[in-house]
């Protein structure tokens, strides 16, 4: 009998949410997405010591004004080095994230994104294989708008609300990553209500975004992310893309059975959804009024930055 993973691939493009090369080879996803937390975790593994040492050694042939500049350079090059390896395994896109501490600086985000793309191109990886991951702040979304206009495709991440999602789509984002599990985490922590597969607020959020995009013919791809259990994934079968951790990929791979398609373009067109107008003031107001989204966006940026700082400390120790 067919596995649930193979069945899922009939309805959605499966993306590996990991920097672990062995896991990606095992599950044959279409794309791969990483973030500072995943890169830090991969660097901690002895499996990638050779890659880490090579990046370190290459940095020593360059001149830097101070140690921090060298550390920043190595951190960027590590993410790119992993990305280069991942492009050799997956046939589609690899996402590489801009530093979280730039999330509220449009121009610095644009500059960093161009540096990342240039590094990939100098290594022989064309820009059409790379997605630049940028947090879904107002400033980040404006950076996405500028980058997309210059032919640099972006993955707008840490999406927790329909307002964020629509702003990204209107900015021309190639792809957005609405988070499922982190939304569920917040509601479990802040409500006495019991949640299960039938009323998961993270799943409902992605359903709303997907249906809105399809109804109003946005080209932006919806890639649901941050899953806490297999049922969340199954209930979003049909979403454009699903980025899944190795542990949940393994669980789906070991489970047998045909899945039902839960989301579809035809179904979305029949749903009555009001049009949303988004400008800077309405974006900031709606995010302010959405306690979950404003908290989880800020928390996500902090957590990614925390792991980036850990990675940089590891590099500093090696130097």
Per-residue pLDDT of the chain (319 residues; tens, 9 = 90+): 899 999 999 999 999 998 778 888 899 899 998 877 878 887 787 788 888 888 888 888 888 999 999 999 999 999 999 999 999 999 999 999 999 999 999 999 999 999 999 999 999 999 999 999 999 999 999 999 999 999 999 999 999 999 999 999 999 999 999 999 999 999 999 999 999 989 999 999 999 999 999 999 999 999 999 999 999 999 999 999 999 999 999 999 999 999 999 999 988 888 888 899 999 999 999 999 999 999 999 999 999 999 999 989 988 988 8
Q: Give the per-residue pLDDT at 18.
A: 84
Place of tokens 């350079």: 73
Could you tell me the sign of the dihedral formed by the alpha carbons of 254, 93, 40, 139, in that order? negative
Q: Which of 9, 133, 146, 312 is catalytic?
A: 133
What does the CA dihedral 52, 58, 62, 67 come to, rounded to 10 degrees?
20
Q: Distance between CA atoms of 119 and 113, rounded to whole angstroms?
A: 10
Classify residue 191 as exposed, middle or buried by CB count within 10 Å of its CB (0-12, 13-18, 19+).
Answer: exposed
Domain boundaries, the chain: 4-318
Q: Distance between CA atoms of 200 and 297, rounded to whole angstroms?
A: 19
Classify residue 215 as exposed, middle or buried by CB count within 10 Å of its CB (0-12, 13-18, 19+).
Answer: middle
Reply yes or no on whether 133 is catalytic: yes
Q: Give the per-residue pLDDT at 222.
A: 98
Q: Give the per-residue pLDDT at 61.
A: 84
Q: Give the per-residue pLDDT at 255.
A: 96
- CATH number of 4-318: 3.20.20.70, 3.40.50.620, 3.30.450.260, 3.20.20.80? 3.20.20.70
Q: Distance between CA atoms of 169 and 163, rounded to whole angstroms?
A: 10
Q: Give the per-residue pLDDT at 52.
A: 85
Q: Give the per-residue pLDDT at 160.
A: 98
Q: What is the pTM of this model?
A: 0.94
């Amino acid at each position: 009998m067919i596995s649930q993973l193979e069945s899922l691939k009939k309805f959605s493009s499966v993306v590996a949410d990991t920097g672990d090369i062995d896991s990606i080879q095992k599950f044959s996803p279409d794309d791969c997405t990483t973030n500072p937390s995943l890169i830090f975790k991969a660097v901690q593994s002895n499996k990638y010591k050779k890659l880490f040492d090579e990046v370190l050694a290459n940095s020593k042939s360059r001149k830097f004004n101070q140690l921090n500049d060298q550390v920043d350079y190595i951190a960027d090059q590590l993410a790119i080095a992993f990305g280069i390896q991942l492009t050799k395994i997956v046939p589609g896109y690899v996402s590489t994230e801009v530093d979280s501490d730039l999330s509220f600086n449009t121009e610095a985000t644009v500059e960093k994104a161009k540096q990342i793309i240039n590094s990939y191109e100098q290594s022989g990886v064309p820009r059409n294989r790379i997605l630049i991951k940028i947090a879904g702040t107002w400033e980040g979304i404006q950076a996405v708008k500028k980058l997309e206009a210059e032919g640099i495709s972006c993955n707008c991440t840490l999406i927790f609300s329909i307002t964020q999602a629509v702003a990204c789509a209107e900015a021309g984002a190639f792809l957005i990553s609405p988070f499922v599990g982190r939304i569920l985490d917040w509601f479990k922590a802040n409500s006495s209500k019991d949640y299960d597969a039938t009323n998961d607020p993270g799943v409902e959020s992605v359903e709303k975004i997907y249906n809105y995009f399809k109804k109003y013919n946005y080209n932006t791809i919806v890639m649901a992310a941050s899953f806490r259990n297999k049922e969340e994934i199954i209930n979003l079968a049909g979403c454009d893309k699903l980025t899944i951790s190795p542990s949940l990929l393994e669980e789906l791979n070991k489970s047998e059975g045909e899945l039902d398609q839960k989301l579809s373009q035809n179904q979305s067109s029949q749903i009555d959804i009001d049009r949303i107008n988004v400008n800077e003031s309405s974006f900031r107001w709606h995010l302010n009024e959405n306690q979950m989204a404003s908290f989880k966006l800020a928390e996500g940026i902090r957590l990614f930055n925390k792991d980036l700082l850990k990675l940089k400390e590891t590099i500093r120790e090696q130097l």
